[in-house]
Chains A and B, each alone.
Chain A
Amino acid sequence: MKERLKKRTPHSRTRDIIIRLENVWKTYTMGKTKVHALRGLDLTVYRGEFLSIMGPSGSGKSTAMNMIGCLDIPTKGTITLEGKNIAQMSESALAQIRGRKIGFIFQKFNLINTLTAKQNVTLPMIFQNIPREQREQRAAELLALVNLADRMNHRPTELSGGQQQRVAIARALALEPTVILADEPTGNLDSSTGETVMEFLEKLHREKGTTIVLVTHDEHVAAHADRIVSLNDGRIGGRT
């Protein structure tokens, strides 16, 4: 495994493993040909670290992200999340795990347009049966944290790209997840807005010890992480 250690945060020193992918294969059947998106991927995510997964398009990084995020199950191999093998879990069990343990940040923000910023942030808590009062309070706190206290009742279409992504970050933090999974979080933002978002994630990591896994093809963005792994052809390796 080829990886580059930039610096060590106090949180990564314990080397407590959160997620481990072992010999993970994902094969898609397209007509008669089989496409291997992942070919025996081995990857470990430690508690409290900020990890970047880099790779060109087609390298399998989106598939890898889906595996880490419990959005999909592998064709072969094992994935353990906090010691539990999730590779064979049912979709509903995975949904529960996603809801409680993983906070997603997507390239396209993926907010629900019919809901206000605050309602978007409360949504994951609704699915976890958090009482209304608690939800409302938490959403307000989180939106204040991402400096959007004054935009709580705006709908996504009334917000700028940067603001939308900050709402998405607030939503990702709603249930204090074990890990934040960010898939090209700056991909749809201009560079300065992107930089702000990245600085915010870094701050979150530094101050709250949040584990962050970042997937990107952009070296500058990846450079915010403690550790960078490169993905090529469905496995770790190649250039960094």
Chain B
Amino acid sequence: MLSEYFGLALRSLRKRKLRSWLTMIGIFIGIAAVVSLISLGQGMQKAITEQFFQLGADKVTVQLKGSRTGPPGSNTDFTLTTKDLDALRRANGVELAAGRLIEQGRLEFNDVERYTFVVSVPEEPELKELIDSIAQVKIIEGRGLKPGDQWKVLIPQSYRDTPKFGGKALRVGDKLRINDQTVDIVGVVKRTGNPFVDNAFQMMEPAMRELFGLPEKYGGLVAQINTNMDLQIVTENIEKVLRKERGFKKGEEDFEVLTADEAFDSFRTILNIVSAVLIGIASISLIVGGVGITNTMFTAVLERKREIGIMKAIGARNSDIVLLFLIEAGLLGLVGGLIGIGLGVGLGKLVEFAAYRAFGESLIKAHFPPLLIVGSLAFSFVLGSLAGALPAYRAGRLPPVEALRE
């Protein structure tokens, strides 16, 4: 008999189209917000998880404090230096250590100016390999950098694929100017999904030191550690060595040694807080939507007193009437949810696309697991039914004589 009740409820809703639509607005805005936020949040989490796992459990990075979430090297008061790198190499348990310069550079091409990151590549093949593996460098066009390359650069894929210089994209063989120095493009680095890597131009370290006038500085250090040793102990060793080198007491360091796990955890915490706040806001809109359904259903009960009376006269029990109104309210929620999911998916994809256009990178990817879709649908139906519970109960309790008198 339930299918008949659905049919009856659907007919009642269709009869009052405008009101049904208006009522559903609250629900579909809420559901759309929840779906898009969760999808983007999950997408971001996925992207970040992937990146941090690429870093690997056998590597640690050294950064100056306060630059954890920003690109390393943006802190200019104190810097890491070549001496720190030497110290790092001395720490027990460090097998290999490399440093990287990370600076903002001014690009000029086709009379258009842009700013982006320039990063250095070490000359020693072993260190270059370490850096490349962490940054996941893959050359998809042209060639990689070689020791002795001076005014040669690698460009990120997005600069080849997207016309960023007054309608022109960069190509292998083009010449452009970085900080007023003309350089040749020799290769293109494949997109990795890491926004920092995907926006960085790469140069050999000696050339970059010359170009930026930085004989000693490093933006960040990376160490590969002996996997037979405890990560915690090696980290402590590194901290001890660097404290001594840089002249700090324990607990007052201006630098930090990050393992993949730690870096990931701190990022995830931030992401979770942001998601929680946004979903909180979306929940408020769902509550408002639910109250809207309650309101509409109360009106419907008042308006349809006579109909309720007729149904009771021809044999509808209180529970039948309650069920009918519950289903009607549930359908308002469900249809609102369906539209909301459609909007949410659209919104998620739109943000993904906008992010792609803005950064030229696939930093944000909307991710829609089936559980999210099914869960949202079920939730919206339950929300609607709950919102309709009180009006439905009232409808069921109407004495038939009074209802028929209307």
Contacts and interface: CB of A to CB of B under 8 A. Distances in A.
Contact of A127 (B306, B317, B404): B317
Interface in A139-175: 171, 175
Contacts of B401: 66, 71-72
B313 A92 contact: no
Given A72-B399, A171-B314, A126 B12 contact: no
Nearest to B405: A62
Given A95-B316, A110-B313, A127-B311, A71 B400 contact: yes
A114 B11 contact: yes
Interface stretch (A97-105, A186-194, A206-214): A97-105
A104 B311 CA distance: 11
Q: Interface SS of chain B: helix, strand, loop or mixed?
A: helix
A104 B318 CA distance: 18
Nearest to A69: B313
Contacts of B314: 98-99, 104, 123-124, 127, 171
Contacts of B312: 71, 95, 98
A33 interface: no
B93 to A, nearest CB: 77
Interface string A118-142: 0000011011110000000000000
Contacts, number: 69
A71 B404 contact: yes
Contact of A92 (B1, B8, B15, B317): B317
Nearest to B398: A91
B169 interface: no
B1 A123 contact: no
A204 interface: no
Contacts of B1: 126, 129
B307 A95 contact: no
A57 interface: no
A114 B12 contact: yes
Interface in B1-49: 1, 4, 8, 11-12, 14-15
Contact of A95 (B11, B15, B315): B315
B263 interface: no
A112 interface: yes
A27 interface: no
Nearest to B14: A114
B310 interface: yes
Contacts of A113: 15
A104 B309 CA distance: 12
Interface string A83-109: 000000001100110111000101000
A98 B318 contact: no
Contact of A72 (B307, B316, B318, B400): B400
A127 B399 contact: no
A115 interface: yes
A72 B309 CA distance: 12
A104 B404 CA distance: 12
B317 A95 contact: yes
B399 A128 contact: no
B108 interface: no
A175 B318 CA distance: 20
A185 to B, nearest CB: 14
B133 interface: no
A127 B319 contact: no
B311 A123 contact: yes
Contacts of A129: 1
A174 B245 CA distance: 97
Given A110-B306, A112-B307, A115-B11, A99 B315 contact: yes
Contacts of B310: 110-112
B184 interface: no
B129 interface: no
A234 to B, nearest CB: 16
Contact of A91 (B8, B309, B315, B318): B318
A164 to B, nearest CB: 13
A165 B85 CA distance: 97
B317 A96 contact: yes
Interface in B282-302: none
Contacts of B12: 114
B315 A98 contact: yes
A159 B317 CA distance: 29
B319 to A, nearest CB: 7
A91 B318 CA distance: 7
Nearest to A91: B318
A104 B306 CA distance: 14
Contacts of B58: none
A205 B164 CA distance: 90
Contacts of A110: 306, 309-310, 313, 404
24 contacts: A66-B401, A71-B404, A72-B400, A91-B317, A91-B400, A92-B318, A92-B319, A95-B312, A95-B317, A98-B312, A98-B315, A99-B314, A99-B315, A99-B316, A111-B310, A112-B307, A114-B11, A114-B12, A115-B11, A123-B311, A123-B314, A126-B4, A127-B320, A171-B314
Interface of A: 66, 69, 71-72, 91-92, 95-96, 98-100, 104, 106, 110-115, 123-124, 126-129, 171, 175
Given A96-B315, A98-B315, A127-B314, 15 more contacts: A71-B401, A72-B401, A92-B317, A92-B319, A98-B313, A104-B314, A106-B404, A110-B310, A110-B404, A112-B307, A114-B11, A115-B11, A124-B315, A127-B315, A127-B320
